[in-house]
Amino acid sequence: MTEAHGSARPRKRRGRRLLITFLVLLLLIAGALLVADRFAASYAEREIGDRVAQQVADQKATSDQPDVTVEGVPFLTQVARGKYQEIKILLRNFAGPAGNGETIKMPVLDIRAKDVTAPLDTIRSGNGDIVAGTVTGTGTIAYADLVDLINQDGLKLSERDGKLIGTSPVKALGQTWNVSGTATLAVKGGVVQVRFADVTADGLPNVPLVRGLIDNYVKSLALDLKVPALPLGLKVQKVEPRPDGLVVTAGASDVSLSSGGL
């Protein structure tokens, strides 16, 4: 009985060693796969970033090097399926021509490409098309920059209750009056139209001479803002006043991300 009991211990110790060795091996394999996955994702992000940077330059715009993130883990599983959850592209310090020698600036242009289809054979051969089902982009134009584009001394812009409000001093009848008005915003053919209406001033006489002066001033505040060409075929869809500036939202669908479209 003593001899049988003694022979069981070495078997238990060997079993534990084998289990520990197996677990360590699994951890090493998992670590190697994770490193390979992140390396592949980083390579893809650099390639996409370089292509977007080139397109920005081709459109006579400027920005910092694009910050690209391929969302979803593991990345290699997405490669095998040929389906990508989302590609996030941040263009910091984006600036582009708006016509008449003016420049539109956005601290960050945030672009998201979703439902990206890229068959593995297409990636291997370079033939075929890589398509994003939807692409959206948002950026903010600071009110100070918008005032510079309107080019009216003393004008201040802000957001109030979801509306764009303009205030400015106006001289009439030998006095200076602070007038304010609400702007209407519309997007037509890629051009953002800013028009002011309902301009009022406390204490300002409502007489034809003064009214005509105010109407002429309001017309001078009108602005047709041509948004510069955006990457990935993005087209401006709407603009919204927010506390920190005028938010521009652009979109596109079925966008080619292959060499011809990116």
> How do residues 105-142 score in pLDDT, each as one tens digit?
999 999 998 888 776 666 555 566 678 889 999 999 99
- Residue spans of beta strands (DSSP E) within 100-244: 102-117, 131-141, 156-160, 163-172, 175-188, 191-200, 223-226, 235-242
| CA atoms of 107 and 247, how far apart (whole Å) | 11
pTM for this prediction: 0.74
Residue 212 has pLDDT above 90, yes or no: no
Residue 181 CB-half CA count within 13 A: 21
Q: So what's the pLDDT on residue 1?
A: 47
Q: How far is CA 16 from the centre of its chain?
A: 54
Q: So what's the pLDDT on residue 233?
A: 84
Count Cβ atoms below 10 Å from residue 221 Cβ, excluding itself. 19
Q: Is 88 exposed, middle or buried (0-12, 13-18, 19+ CB in 10 A)?
A: middle
Determine contact, residues 81/116, Cβ cutoff 8 Å.
no
